[in-house]
Amino acid sequence: MIGGIIHILLAFAFFYPLAMSLLWMSGGLLYFLRWERREPARVKPPSLASYPMVSLIVPCHNEGEQVRETIANLADQTWPDFEIIAVNDGSTDDTGPQLDELMKVYPQLRVIHLSSNQGKAMGLRTATLAAKGDYLVCVDGDALLDRYATHWLMTHLLSSSRVGAVTGNPRIRNRSTLLGKLQVGEFSSIIGLIKRAQRVYGRIFTVSGVIAAFRKVALHDVGYWNTDMVTEDIDVSWRLQMRHWEIRYEPNAMCWILMPETLRGLWKQRLRWAQGGSEVLLRYATKLMRWRQRRMWMVAAEYLISMIWSYVMALMVTLWLLGMVLPLPPSLHVPTLLPQWNGVVLGIICMLQFLISLLIDRRYEKRIGRNYYWMIWYPIAFWMLTTATSVVALPKAMFKRRGTRAVWTSPDRGVR
């Protein structure tokens, strides 16, 4: 009996990533064939019937090293009518004084100072209430927004009154280490392809918190960002779609970001992401069971099954390690974690997924193919990381006290 269960779990550990890889590849190709290949070049966004005012929002906490470059890129947008609102959220470095100086350089810039660390969600809420525009483009304080990004994001918001948000295309700036190079491929081969597939199949798991556009009336409809959620971007994405607002993905809306290049920094970031996913699943599980939320079922089921897969992988690793030091019964024996024939098949499918996504992404970065070589390490390194963070994140989400304010913690922004 136990041996049969172990056999089933081993099969699940193999077939789940295989099935999801095939699903993402098919969805990504459908997206490319249906929309992407017909779009004009990034530098030639389509003409629009109107160009309403847009509020560019950037919440900042200890962004003194990056904020000047971030504001400069926002001010360089090709969109004809916009304002910039920067929120200095209790920074302890020179972010505030720098922003005050930048107001003399960029007349579109307004700065709001919060005396203490209130968290990104509160910063976004504060700026939104002060915004003059009915449309918002939100970026992080260390992000460099492509000059055509606002135009591409607005094409979706102006095309349909039911579009509540549009997520852009984050690109990795720092690529000096193996972790940096792996994340370049990850954002292209995994995150970008998943967003394309989810757009085809109906619902997107989350907008990218680093670059997203919103219709203000849609945010008002759902009560803006929740201040007690670890990942405010995942939470607001689910609530918008549960209120039947549409979220779209626009790969031409590019934004250059800094990512962790140390194991400690990467662990903290991915643990926060995993905890955020667990929090929304736990908070909205009851509401998701209603028939009118059926279009969210696929997104919720995908995340739930991925958590189960992580726990199965953790169990298999534990049994394998115990079997090396203890005489376990044959029914609990996991002979090896090294790739057998099924591991080879899975590796080939993963590399095919990476190849397809990188070929699509050459539209946005001509030389991105040079990162393909490094992706051979991705399944080993990042699947282990995903397993570990998911296992740790679920109990953290379950025992977190509701209403606890999620405040800023300065992230690892790569090796300098």
pLDDT digits (tens, 9 = 90+) for 127-163: 999 999 999 999 999 999 999 999 999 999 999 999 9
- CA 307, 264, 279, 187 torsion-angle sign: negative
Which of 270, 262, 369, 251 has the alpha carbon at shortest distance from 310?
A: 270
- Beta-ladder partners of 86: 58, 111
Q: What is the pLDDT of residue 380?
A: 72
Q: What is the pLDDT of residue 383?
A: 78
Torsion of the alpha carbons at 99, 105, 107 and 112, rounded to the nearest 10: 10
| DSSP-derived pairing of the beta strands 135-139 and 211-215 | antiparallel
**270-274: long-range contacts at Cβ-Cβ below 8 A with a sequence spacing of 24 or more?**
270/385, 270/386, 270/389, 271/389, 271/392, 271/393, 271/396, 272/230, 272/231, 273/231, 273/389, 274/386, 274/389, 274/390, 274/392, 274/393, 274/394
> Side by side, which strands form the sheet with 135-139?
109-114, 82-89, 54-60, 135-139, 211-215, 163-172, 246-257, 144-145
Quote the CA–CA distance of 386 and 375 in Å, as a whole number.
Answer: 16
Instruction: Write phi, then psi, for 105 (nearest 5 degrees).
Output: -90, -40
Quote the CA–CA distance of 233 and 21 in Å, as a whole number.
Answer: 24
Specify the amino acid at residue 26.
Answer: S
Quote the CA–CA distance of 254 and 275 in Å, as a whole number.
Answer: 26
Q: How long is the chain? A: 416
Counting beta carbons within 10 angstroms of the beta carbon of residue 151, is it exposed (0 to 12), middle (13 to 18) or buried (19 or more)? buried
Q: What is the pLDDT of residue 412?
A: 62
Residues in the chain where the model's pLDDT stays below 70: 1, 3, 336-341, 369-374, 376, 408, 410-416
Quote the CA–CA distance of 230 and 243 in Å, as a whole number.
Answer: 21
Quote the CA–CA distance of 91 and 338 in Å, as a whole number.
Answer: 48
User: Which residue in this structure is represented by tokens 């993402």?
Assistant: 24
